[in-house]
Amino acid sequence: MALIEINGMIKEYPMGRGKFTALKNIDLEFTEGEFTGIVGPSGSGKTTLLNIIGSLDVQSDGSVRVMGNDIEKLSGKQSSKLRSKHIGFIFQTYNLLPVYTVFENVEFPLILLGMSTEERKKAVLEALDWVGLTDKIKSRPAQLSGGECQRVAIARAIVKKPDIVLADEPTANLDAENSHHILKTMKKINEELGTTFIFSTHDAKVISYLKRKITLLDGKVFKDEIVE
Ligand SMILES: Nc1ncnc2c1ncn2[C@@H]1O[C@H](COP(=O)(O)OP(=O)(O)O)[C@@H](O)[C@H]1O
Ligand SMILES: [Mg+2]
C-alpha cells in the first residue's frame, strides 16, 4: 500500500469574489522510505501541497489518502492524532519554542503522545544523538546558531519515529556547510530508520541529495523523476 495517494487533487483559495487555483489535478503516490523533493519556483504550490499531505489543510476536490486515511473525512481530533503519531514537520523558520530548552523542545511531541518521563528521556537523548546535539541539551534556541536550531527541529520531527517527515524549505535560512550537514543527517535517518522524507525546496544543494524529484510549475506536476 502506498503511504500517500493523491488523485485528481485540486486546491482553490478564495480570491476576491472568485477563486485562485493553487494546485491543479495532482496525481501522486509516495511509498515507504522515499527521499523526495518537491521542486519549483516560488508560488508553484509546494507549501500548499505539503500542508495538505500533512493534513494541516484540506483539498478542494479529488482525494488525498495518508496512511489509509481520507484526510478530508477526518475530524479535527482525528487529523491531529494522525499528525502526532505519524508525521513530523520541519519548517524553514525552525518554529522552536523560545522559552523551552533544547531537551524540552524535542520532548514536546512525546508529551502529546502521553509517553512516560523515562521513555521520553530515552527517546529525546537518542534523537539528539542522531543530530549531534547532546552537548546543547540545556541551551535555549536564542543561544544556538541557525544550523543548530534546524538540527533541534529535525530531532523534534523524528523523536517519535514518525513514518513521514515533511520539510518545507528546510535549508532556506542556512549557509552551505549547515545545509550539507542537515541533509546528511536526514539522509542517514532515511537510510537507517526507513523514514519517508518529503521536502519542498528550490535549493540546488538539497536537490543533489534527492532520490526522487517532483517538479511543480504553476500548480501542476511538470516532471516526476528518479534521480539516483
Ligand atoms: N492562504 C492562501 N490564500 C490565498 N492564496 C494562497 C494562500 N496560500 C497560498 N496561496 C497562493 O497559492 C499559490 C501557491 O502558494 P505556495 O503553496 O505557498 O507556493 P510555494 O510554496 O511553491 O511558494 C501562490 O500563488 C500563493 O499566493
Ligand atoms: Mg512555500
Where residue 75 sits, what CATH number does that domain have? 3.40.50.300
The average confidence (pLDDT) of the chain is: 95
pLDDT band of residue 150 (cuts 50, 70, 90) is very high
Range of the domain at 197: 4-226
pLDDT in tens, 13-55: 999 999 999 999 999 999 999 999 999 999 999 999 999 999 9
Residue of 13, 52, 57 to test ligand 1 pocket, by largest number of atoms within 8 Å of CB:
13
Mean pLDDT, residues 130-140: 95
The rounded distance, in Å, linking the Cα atoms of 80 and 185 is 27
pLDDT at 203: 87
Contacts of 204 (CB under 8 A, 6+ apart): none
Mean pLDDT, residues 117-140: 96
pLDDT at 10: 98
Ligand 1, atom nearest to 11 Cα: 12
Mean pLDDT, residues 121-144: 96
The rounded distance, in Å, linking the Cα atoms of 114 and 179 is 33
Cα four-point dihedral sign 72, 73, 75, 81: negative
Residues with CB under 6 A from ligand 1: 13, 20, 22, 40, 42-48, 200
Ligand 1, atom nearest to 219 Cα: 14
Closest ligand by atom to 53 CA: 1
Residue tagged 523542545 (cell numbers): 105
Mind giving me the DSSP string for 109-140? Answer: HHHHTT--HHHHHHHHHHHHHHTT-GGGTT--
Biggest alpha carbon distance in the chain? Answer: 54
pLDDT at 206: 87
Residue of 48, 52, 93, 203 to test ligand 1 pocket, by largest number of atoms within 8 Å of CB:
48
pLDDT band of residue 99 (cuts 50, 70, 90) is very high
Residue 202 has pLDDT above 90, yes or no: no
Residue 224 has pLDDT above 80, yes or no: yes
Quote the number of domains for the chain: 1
pLDDT band of residue 190 (cuts 50, 70, 90) is very high
Ligand 1, atom nearest to 38 Cα: 22
Mean pLDDT, residues 193-211: 92
Mean pLDDT, residues 155-168: 96
> What does the block give as the cell for 228?
539516483
Residue 107 has pLDDT above 70, yes or no: yes
pLDDT band of residue 1 (cuts 50, 70, 90) is low
Mean pLDDT, residues 93-109: 96
> What is the percent of the chain where pLDDT is above 70?
99
**How many angstroms separate the alpha carbon of residue 118 from the centre of ligand 2?**
37
